Amino acid sequence: MTITARQVAIDVLNRSRARDGFASELIDDALGGANLSAQDRRFVTQLVFGVIRRGGTLDALLKPFIKIPLHAVQPRVWDVLRLGAYQLTFLTHVPKHAAVHETVELVVHAGAERAKGFVNGVLRRVAELVTDDFCTKAGTDAVPFDGCEVPIPPPPFSEVRGDSRRAGAPAKARDASPPMRFVGRYRKLARPILPDPASTYDAYFAAAHSFPQWLANKWLARYGPDECTRLGFWFNAPPPLWVRVNKLHASRESYRIQLAAALIEADPAEHPQSLRFPEHHLIRELPGYADGDFAVQDHSSMLVASALGVKPGMHVLDLCAAPGGKTTHLMELMDNRGRITACDIEAARLETVTTLCQRLRIKGVETVVLTEDGELPNGPFDTALVDVPCSNTGVIGRRPEVRWRLKPNEFEHLVRLQTRLLIEALSRVKPGSAVVYSTCSIEPEENEGVVGTVCKGMRGVKLEAEHRATPGRPSDGGYWARLRKG
């Protein structure tokens, strides 16, 4: 029996809702057993990630047309409705009649054949609601679609005060990158559906950009409406593909030549091993994958291992090491000469570290399974990386479930765990050694808050450097701090 991309997508969404795993893992598992073309495989990924990211917005568009109590709609039927509404609202290349028809047919596959008429009626109303017009201003009848940052043009010469241009401004000032502003594009609706952004921007941001209200309020208090709007567009767009070139095998430029020979474009960024792909590619089909010429790693994540300043021959403690991106990067920076004790609490997760080491031909990594409340390896170590479990709010674009699974009461537990891990790592390195603490969170309590508490509470520990990665500039959000033990 032939299986379609939409059927695979609805199965994955059902498993994701049941928390059988994260979307990326579930998609890989589902596609491994499905005979789909490369185009259909990409369509599955687009559908699953899109529905999870935009779930709050899709519900806001669907609810006005559901005339029965919402709790009476089966979860599997909700999955189908969201899948249909996502195609109608956010996929301009899918004709509306096809989106409705193909989605209604999914009801049988989802095991709810009696709901076909109900789903058909609701999706037809959504199809009538969503127009083919776009605008650049938020509104009750405007759904955030996509956006980009554009340069702010300089003022006319006559508006420039002083004689700096005639006298010749400093070269650095003249050559500086122009300031940017974010421009969003919104899809128009046939009638008002969303909260009014002019009077209740908090409610509009939560519904239109698809975030839980508590997180919308938290970010608005810290960032304000303009930056929250930019974050909303960034986290709802497919994140770019970044790779770290394995310096043990090739230079960044030599690998770019290898990609160019395969007609694949990639752009260098700030980190000397980083490449960004303007278009998405199947990872295993990129040149050099089997030979270990690269690892998939976001640019902001690459900065973490480099901040530790490791040298060949060091013995490094790597806490919370899985899935191994930073572990392998550390050993690359040590020229494959040294030892890393890579720890995690799940043996299955540590297997991903071993597998990645084998593909990249990394040596000297010993994996250690920890019990959740167990002792860490004693050391003493020359240095340590503490990449702690966190809220993941800096990588919501890559892990879309985070916005729905994270709860506000979890921060207290996370901060206690993060603080304990950092203290234990500092206690296991030699005097004078550096420890890097990192998260993929943009929440101050998990970042500066933890580091400040530890520096105040541990004698002789000083903050040496720190870095905050802002989501979208140019990659994921996150934080690292390098502490020095006296």
10 Å CB burial of residue 315 (0-12, 13-18, 19+) is middle
Q: For residue 390, indicate whether it is catalytic.
A: no
| Token couple for 285 | 């089909």
Backbone angles phi, psi at 342, to 5 degrees: -100, 120
DSSP state of 422: H
| Token couple for 340 | 């890393």
Catalytic residue among 228, 320, 357, 440: 440
Q: How many residues does the chain have?
A: 486
10 Å CB burial of residue 436 (0-12, 13-18, 19+) is buried
Strand-by-strand arrangement of the 434-439 sheet:
365-369, 339-344, 315-319, 383-387, 434-439, 478-485, 461-469
* Spatial contact of 145 and 209, defined as CB atoms under 8 Å apart: no
| Token couple for 249 | 């095998």
CA angle, 242 then 247 then 251, to 5°: 80
Q: 233, 219, 225: which is closest to 197 by C-alpha?
A: 225
Positions marked catalytic: 440
